[in-house]
Amino acid sequence: MDLMDKIYTLITGGDKGIGLETAKELGRAGQHILLGARNQARGEAAMKALRRAGVIGADLIMLDVTQEATIQEAARWITAQFGQLNVLINNAGIALDHHESPVTMPLATIRADFEVNFFGAVAVTQAMIPLLRKGAPAKIINVSSEMGSLTNASDPHSRFYRGNALGYQSSKAALNMATISFSKALAPDHIAVNAVNPGHTATDFGGGTASGQAVTAGAAPIVALSRSDAPHMTGKFIETAGQVPW
């Protein structure tokens, strides 16, 4: 297979949870995984897990989405090694809110959520656009959340109405707007940009194994979109069941 025939897929926050499961499944499906991790030891452990899962084509990339230097270095390295990127999965995410009221939540907490969930995803996207243009038709998949849906949050009949995590929810709502914004800007370059809701999943983030669906179910809509050959779909917010209201 020629270098240019391969599908190169960068996953941020790939060392555990939904990101790692997505890496395993896409790697087994033949995509070349560029596994982003901010911690060397956790990244190497994830690479071992990938190999145990039968993934052959994978590289570890040290990438902290809040550290511009690591983003630029990742882009330089991918340019030198492969010259293109076909799929970018902005998966890294945090929620530091801990059920605190928006009335008293420290601004520092809200800013920290935004640094990873919004500014981190935007910074990685901007840095990877030249590589995605070379890999077009290409895809950007923003791992968002139903908790970021303004429609859900404001609907008294929605099960998300009672949730009120200002930092996490507004950072994911902002990521949704970035999805729409980049989808319009990158349509002429044949780069599709969509947001995906994994749903409540039993990861460290989602509360561990006691709650939430299996990690395979959380990764499923991301894997499906990454493997889909419908590059014309762009500017959507989707989950396994279909569309999520913005």
Ligand X SMILES: NC(=O)c1ccc[n+]([C@@H]2O[C@H](COP(=O)([O-])OP(=O)(O)OC[C@H]3O[C@@H](n4cnc5c(N)ncnc54)[C@H](OP(=O)(O)O)[C@@H]3O)[C@@H](O)[C@H]2O)c1
Binding site for ligand X (CB under 6 A): 12-13, 15-19, 38-39, 42, 63-66, 91-94, 116, 120, 143, 145, 198, 200-201, 203-206, 212, 218
DSSP state letter for 44:
H
- Shortest Å, Cβ 42 to ligand X: 5
Distance of CA 215 to the CA centre of its chain: 14
Nearer to ligand X, 163 or 190 (CB): 163
- Shortest Å, Cβ 80 to ligand X: 21
Between CA 136 and CA 83 the distance in angstroms is 12
Nearer to ligand X, 39 or 209 (CB): 39
β-pair type (191-196, 32-37): unpaired
Nearer to ligand X, 130 or 208 (CB): 208
Nearer to ligand X, 53 or 187 (CB): 53
- Shortest Å, Cβ 136 to ligand X: 25
Strands of 58-62's sheet in order across: 58-62, 32-37, 8-11, 87-90, 138-143, 191-196, 237-239, 242-243
- Shortest Å, Cβ 194 to ligand X: 14
DSSP state letter for 213:
B
Nearer to ligand X, 85 or 143 (CB): 143
Nearer to ligand X, 22 or 183 (CB): 22
Q: Is the peptide bond before 137 cis (omega within 30 degrees of 0)?
A: yes
- Shortest Å, Cβ 6 to ligand X: 24
- Shortest Å, Cβ 97 to ligand X: 12
Distance of CA 177 to the CA centre of its chain: 15
Based on the number of CB atoms within 10 Å of its own CB, is 93 exposed (0-12), middle (13-18) or buried (19 or more)? buried
